[in-house]
Amino acid sequence: MSDLKELAKKLESLDDQIISCMKCGLCQPVCPIFNSTMQEADVARGKLALIDNLSKHILTDADALAEKLERCLMCGSCQAACPPGVEIMDIFMKAREVVFGYVGLPLIKKLIFRQMLAKTWLFNTAMRVGAPLSRLVFWKTNKDHGTYSAPLLSPIIGKRHVRPLPLTPLHVAVGAMDTPAGSSGIKVAFFSGCVGDKMYVDMSKACLKVLDHHGVGVYMPKSFPCCGLPAIVSGDADGVLKQLKPSLDLLMKGEFDYLITPCGSCTATLKEFWPKYAPRLSKEYGEYAEGLEHKVMDINAFLINVLKVESKPTKAGAVKVTYHDSCHLRKSLGVISEPRKVIGLSGEYEFIEMANAEKCCGSGGSFSLAYHDISLDIGMRKRQDVTESGAEIVAMGCPACMIQIEDVLSQKGDKVRVKHTIELYAESLDK
C-alpha cells in the first residue's frame, strides 16, 4: 500500500466508530501520556480526530499520524472513562495496522516481532545466551531489588534498572506439564507469558505451587510463543498470526477447563484479541479462539471466583502491602477486587490502598523503550504514590508492571519490594 488515498479509504471504515466521540475530553485526565506531555494529540480525543482527518484528506502526513498513534500505552484508561463508550482500543488497533503498514514497521521492531517472538527457539536461545551475558554487561546497582543497570546497553534501554535474566527460564526449569485434576476436580492450561517465562520465573513457579496446593491439574506445553500483544500494538498483523497459530496448535492438543495466566496483559490479549485475529488463520482456528474466550481467566480471579479460597483474619503485626492496578486487569477485564482479596488471603499481610492505584505505571513494552522519558515520568508518579502509602511491599498482577515499578523504585533507592500477588500467597503457604 503506497497510495495515501488508499490509506485514507481504509481509515474511512473507522468513521462509524469514531463519529461517536463527542469530544467531551473526559479521556484527558485519565491518560498517562497526556498527564506527562499535556498535548492534545496524545490523548484519545486528539488521536481520534487525527485519524478522522487523515481519512478526510485534511491531514496528509501519515508519518505524523503513525508517530502520534505510537505515543500510547494502549492501557485502555481512555476507553474506560469514555461516556459514549467509543471503542477506542479497537479503533487504535485497526488504525495502527493500516497506518504502520503504510509507513512501514521500523526495521528493528520487525526483526524482534517477526523473527524472535514467533520462533520460540530463537527467542529462547537468545535469552539463554543473553542471561549469563547479561551478568557481564549489567552492573549490580540496588541490592534490595536485585536489579542492575546496564551501562553497555544504555543506548538501547536508557538508564533503566532491570533485573538480570535468570539463568534458566521457566520452560527449562519446569519443562512441560500435564497433571490430572486433583481435589478441586479442575484442570487448567497455564500460560506464563514471556515475562513470566524468561524474567519472573519465581513468580511463575509460585503460580504452579498455588495451583498444586489447591488440587488443580495443569497443562503446560514446553513453551508457548508470546501472546502477541507487542505485535498487535505495533499493528503487525502478520507477526500476530505467526505467534497465534503455534499457540492455538499447542492448546488444541490439551484438555482443560480454564486457561489461566498471571499476566493481566496476556489475559486481555487472549480474551479480546485472539478471537479477533484467529479467523484470519482459518474458520476452525477462529471458532476455537472464540470458544477459549470464556475459559481465559486471570489467576487472581480464578483463586477467588472459581476456587473460592476464603481469607483468614489479618494477624497482628502483618506486613503492610499495597496494590497497583494493572491497566489491562482493571480496565479491560474488570478484575479489581480479586487481587486485593488475594493479598488478604493468608492473614500475613495487611492490605492498604494507595492513592491513584488505578493509574497506569507507564510500562508499555516497546513504548517504554521508544519514549523512555515519558514512560519514566509516568513511572515516577507511581513511585511517589507507592512510597507515600507506607507499604513495605507493592503487589500487582502483571509482570510488565513489575518491571516498570521495580525500575523506578530501584532508581530512587527505595526499600519497597515488588511482588506478584500470587507470590505473596505462595510464600504464605510455607508459613
Partner 1 sequence: MSIEALAKDIAKIIGKENVLTKDADRQSYSYDSAVLEPVIPAMVVRPTEVEQLGLLTKRFYDAGVPMTVRGAGTNLSGGTIPDSTDSVVILTNSLNKVLEINEEDLYAVVETGVVTSVLAAAAAKKNLFYPPDPGSQSISTIGGNIAENAGGLRGLKYGVTKDYVMGIEFFDAEGEFIKSGARTVKCVTGYNLAGLMVQSEGTLGIISKAILKLVPPPKASKAMMAVFDDLIKASEAVAAIIAAHVVPCTMEFLDNTTIVMVDDYTKIGLPRDAAAILLIELDGHPAQVEDETNTTIEVLKKCGATNVVLAKDQAEKMKLWEARRMALPVLARAKPTTVLEDATVPRSKIPDMMRGIESVANKYNLTIGTFGHAGDGNLHPTILCDKRDKAEFHRVEEAIDDLFDIALKLGGTLSGEHGIGTAKAQWLEKETSKGTILFSKKLRKALDPKSLLNPTKQVNMYE
Q: Which residues bind ligand FAD (CB under 6 A)?
A: 24-25
Q: Is 134 in the site for ligand SF4 (CB under 6 A)?
A: no
Euclidean distance between CA atoms 76 and 332, whole angstroms: 7
Rounding to the nearest 10 degrees, give the CA dihedral for residues 150, 155, 159, 163.
-40
* Dist CA 47 CA 65 (whole Å): 8
Give the count of residues interacting with ligand SF4 (CB under 6 A).
40
Instruction: Give the DSSP per-residue string, 86-117.
Output: --HHHHHHHHHHHHHHHH---HHHHIIIIIII
Binding partner of residue 265 among ligand SF4, ligand FAD, partner 1, none, CB under 5 to 8 Å per kind? ligand SF4
Please identify which residue in 91, 112, 170, 195 interacts with ligand SF4, judged by CB under 6 A. 195
Candidates 2-10, 44-52, 124-132, 156-164: pick the segment binding ligand SF4 (CB under 6 A): 44-52
Q: Does 31 participate in binding ligand SF4 (rule CB under 6 A)?
A: yes
Rounded to the nearest whole angstrom, what is the least distance from the CB of residue 294 to ligand SF4 in the complex? 20
What amino acid occupies position 297?
M
Residues whose CB is less than 8 angstroms from the CB of residue 235 and which lie 6 or more positions away in sequence, other chains included: 69, 93, 95, 96, 97, 98, 99, 100, 101, 105
* Binding flag, residue 169, ligand SF4 (CB under 6 A): no
CA–CA separation, 370 and 252 (whole Å): 36
Q: Which residues contact 347 (CB under 8 A, 6 or more apart)?
A: 311, 312, 313, 314, 315, 318, 428
Q: Which is nearer to ligand SF4, 72 or 309 (CB)?
A: 72
Handedness of CA 267, 273, 278, 284 (dihedral sign): positive
Which partner, ligand SF4, ligand FAD, partner 1, none, binds residue 226 by CB below 5 to 8 Å per kind? ligand SF4
Q: What minimum distance in Å lies between the beta carbon of 173 and ligand SF4?
A: 17
Whole-angstrom distance, CA of residue 218 vs CA of residue 177: 6
CB of 310 to ligand FAD, least distance (A): 43
Euclidean distance between CA atoms 337 and 343, whole angstroms? 10
- The rounded distance, in Å, linking the Cα atoms of 418 and 399 is 10
Which is closer to ligand SF4, CB of 30 or CB of 244? 30
Q: Does 72 bind ligand SF4 (CB under 6 A)?
A: yes
Binding site for partner 1 (CB under 8 A): 16, 19-20, 22-26, 28-29, 38-41, 46, 49-50, 53, 58-61, 64-65, 67-68, 83-85
In this structure, what DSSP letter does residue 306 have?
I
Least distance to ligand SF4 from the beta carbon of 417, Å?
20
* 109 interacts with ligand SF4 by CB under 6 A: no
Query: At closest approach, how far in Å is the CB of 286 from ligand SF4?
Result: 21
Q: Out of 11, 186, 189, 194, point to the residue binding ligand SF4 (CB under 6 A).
A: 194
Q: CA–CA separation, 305 vs 307, rounded Å? A: 6
**Residue from 29, 84, 390, 413 binding ligand SF4 (CB under 6 A):** 84
Integer Cα distance of 17 and 33 in angstroms: 23
Burial class (CB in 10 A: 0-12, 13-18, 19+), 12: middle
Query: In angstroms, what is the minimal distance from the CB of 24 to ligand SF4?
Result: 4
Looking at the DSSP bridge assignments, the partners of residue 178 are 219
Nearest distance from C-beta of residue 42 to ligand FAD, angstroms: 17
CB 402 to ligand SF4: min, Å? 10
46's contact among partner 1, ligand FAD, ligand SF4, none, with CB below 5 to 8 A by partner kind, is partner 1
Cβ(366)–Cβ(106) below 8 Å: no
Partner whose footprint covers residue 275, from ligand SF4, ligand FAD, partner 1, none (CB < 5 to 8 Å by kind): none
Between residues 82 and 426, which has the closer beta carbon with respect to ligand FAD?
82
What is the binding site for ligand SF4 (CB under 6 A)?
21-27, 30-33, 43-45, 48, 72-78, 81-82, 84, 86, 88, 193-195, 226-227, 229-230, 263, 265-266, 269, 399-400
